[in-house]
Structure formats: C-alpha cells, structure tokens
Amino acid sequence: MAVTVASRMTAGAVTVDEQADLQEFVDAVERHRVRTVAVVDESGRLLGAVDRDDHPDLFDGSAAHRGPRVAGTPRQRRRRERRTHAPVRELMRDAVAVPGTSPVAEALRVLATSGTELAFVVDDRGVVRGTVSTRQCRSAPAVRIVSEEAGHGQVRV
C-alpha cells in the first residue's frame, strides 16, 4: 500500500479568513513564523494563499533576524499603512493543494509541476488540514517518481 500524504503532513496549517485584511496576514506570519498563509472561506475551504515573498516591502529580509519582522524604514511603513486594510483575497494567489489520501508520489509530482516546495493538504471537502513539503514527501520510504522532464520514463529513487 502506498504511503499517503496524511502520514507525512504537518497538521494544522496557518490560515486567515478571506475577509481578513493585510494586517491579519502580517500578524499571522509574525506570530507563527511561517512564509505562506492559506486563505480560507468561512467553512475552512482553501481559496488561495498569500506568501511573504510576494510582498517583500512588508518584511525585513535581514539574515541575522530569525523569522519575519515588520519593515522599519519610513517608506516601507507608509506603503504598509496604505495597504493595511486591503483584503487578503485581493492579494492571494492560487494555492497548491493535495488531498490527504493521495500517495506521496502524487504529491511530489504536483509540487514539482507547480515549482513550489509547499502544498496545503485538504480533505474531501477542500478543508485545509495541514501542509506537506517536498522534503517531507521525499523522506517517505521507497518513494519513486517518474522524471517527466527527461521524457524517457526514467525512474529516480
């Protein structure tokens, strides 16, 4: 039997409601020290995602600082203040999602195709249950994926 995404995921993704404003996104990133926050509807179904890297003006990229920090220059503070009340649904992008019941190999294919390292794990109703990364999937025993880039049906282990 194939190893499932649910067995490899980190339960409990950080989410914000679609009605949340940018300040709630910034607060969630700072509080939980994450890069990507899921945007959900009132039922918890995944609608999209907002990533701190999509909005670098809101955070300090200092390598010496552990985790995100609100930028402090006057220009950044003014820009942030203007955008603070923008709804996250206007800033979100498509999110990568995989069902928890999917085999890990399928999650790796989805992640490789999307060019991202993180996917949200959803149940059969589309409710966010957690996250899974490429690293978590690759740590599964005997995960084999077909190299689509090669086009020769090569198998990488």
Quick one: pLDDT at residue 149?
A: 42
Pick from 2-16, 122-136, 141-155: least confident: 141-155
Q: Model's pTM, two decimal places?
A: 0.74
CA 25 to CA 64: how far, in whole Å? 23
First to last CA, the chain: 17
CA 71 to CA 59: how far, in whole Å? 5
> Which of 140, 129, 114, 98 has the alpha carbon at shortest distance from 10?
129
Domain positions in the chain: 5-156
Quick one: pLDDT at residue 151?
A: 44
The answer, yes or no, to whether residue 50 has pLDDT greater than 50, is yes
Quick one: pLDDT at residue 41?
A: 93
| Fold classification of 5-156 (topology level) | CBS-domain (3.10.580)
C-alpha dihedral over 3, 5, 8, 10, to 10 degrees? -170
Quick one: pLDDT at residue 22?
A: 83
Continuous segment of H or E residues that includes residue 61: none
Q: For the chain, state the CA radius of gyration.
A: 17
Quick one: pLDDT at residue 82?
A: 64
Coil, helix or strand at residue 26: helix
Quick one: pLDDT at residue 63?
A: 38
Strand partners, 133: 118
Task: Report CA-CA distances (Å) from 90 to 18, 39, 85, 94, 124.
Answer: 9, 11, 11, 12, 26
Quick one: pLDDT at residue 89?
A: 85
| % of the chain with per-residue pLDDT over 90 | 39
Q: Between these two residues, 70 and 125, which has the higher pLDDT value?
A: 125
Cβ-Cβ contacts under 8 Å for 34 (sequence gap 6 or more): 14, 28
90-102: per-residue pLDDT in tens?
888 999 999 999 9
22-46: per-residue pLDDT in tens?
888 888 888 898 889 999 999 999 9
DSSP assigned state of 35 = S
The answer, yes or no, to whether residue 127 has pLDDT greater than 90, is yes
